[in-house]
Amino acid sequence: MKHSIHEWNNLTAVVEFILLGFSDLPKLQGFLFGIFLIMYLSILIGNGLLIVITKIDPGLQTPMYFFIGNFSFLEICYTSVTLPRMLTDLWTQKRTISFLACAVQTCFLYILGAAECLLLAVMAYDRYVAICKPLYYPLIMNHKVCVQLVVASWIIGVPVLVQETYQIFCLNFCGSNKLNHIFCEAPPLLELACGDTYKREVSVHFIALAFIITPFLLILISYVKIIATVLKLPSTSGRSKAFSTCSSHLMVVGLFYGSGSIVYLQPKSSHSTGSVKVFALFYTIVTPMFNPLIYSLRNKDVICALRKFLPK
């Protein structure tokens, strides 16, 4: 709800927000707490195992598994920005979050989300080099280059996203402090801001385009070239092996990009509160939970490493 300048004088500036979350389901609070706790533990254990085995197993000391291990660490960090807070809110029923804590949560959510998008593009590039330029693969994807690509994925969006978060929280929040969402992020925050937020909404969509669509196009180009190369392979087993190493990555890309794009790239008029919450759960919780399953169940090397690592 937008307020005129005259109305602002009668309103108090917001110093904290109330995250409504799933407060419209009062009878399911305990059930939701249990479900989200199990999901968080699954994310920590599953991604933690992937990190450990990609570090200690000699058979997994390749660029592909180096990126998978880093992606798993990123998934743990990304989920930990929102899920512990959600669990606390469900347990205590308080749901309040300070203005500063909300800003910090938003900032880290965006920095880590952008890092995920960029790292997924890096992983697609790694597969492209491995399949399309196999003779040059050890030279192009040496350890130094791999480290540089991971570091770049982590830090390239930091200045832009810190600035964008600052601009969002410089808006006037002088009306309701009830944030109808499960955590702090731009779309529901902009709905609470007073005055004209059009420029800020355009800015959010533009940055989402930059950090969602640009890496996605790079992934798409990589896989178009990969598919063209794989189809030329004379061996059927060679084609199936190449497709199997890429299919896991494509599944993670589809889950993460699909849900994130629906929230950030759709016009605001087509949003419904319930659907935004559901898709937000997908890119912050469901994808990180399925990541280790996708990479382990569809990968013989990871399964063998897990069998050696875990007691019978």
- pLDDT category at 165 given cuts 50, 70, 90 is very high
Alpha-carbon distance 244 to 180, whole Å? 41
Boundaries of every domain in the chain: 5-309
Residue 34 pLDDT > 60: yes
Q: Do residues 13 and 174 lie in contact, with contact meaning Cβ atoms separated by under 8 Å?
A: yes
What was the pLDDT predicted at 10?
Answer: 42
Look at 21 and 113; give whichever has higher pLDDT: 113
What was the pLDDT predicted at 203?
Answer: 87
Alpha-carbon distance 153 to 63, whole Å? 15
| 178, β-bridge pairs | 18
Residue 18 backbone phi and psi in degrees, to 5: -110, 115
The percent of residues in the chain predicted with pLDDT above 90, rounded, is 31
- pLDDT category at 102 given cuts 50, 70, 90 is very high
User: Does domain 5-309 correspond to CATH entry 1.20.1070.10?
Assistant: yes
- pLDDT category at 66 given cuts 50, 70, 90 is very high
Residue 300 pLDDT > 90: no
How far is C-alpha 123 from the geometric centre of its chain's CA atoms? 15
- pLDDT category at 216 given cuts 50, 70, 90 is confident
Q: Do residues 210 and 117 lie in contact, with contact meaning Cβ atoms separated by under 8 Å?
A: no
Alpha-carbon distance 215 to 121, whole Å? 5
Model confidence over 225-264: pLDDT tens digits?
A: 988 888 887 777 666 766 666 777 777 887 777 777 666 6
Look at 156 and 5; give whichever has higher pLDDT: 156
Residue 107 pLDDT > 80: yes
Residue 116 pLDDT > 50: yes
What CA–CA distances, in Å, run from 197 to 169, 203, 264?
A: 12, 10, 16
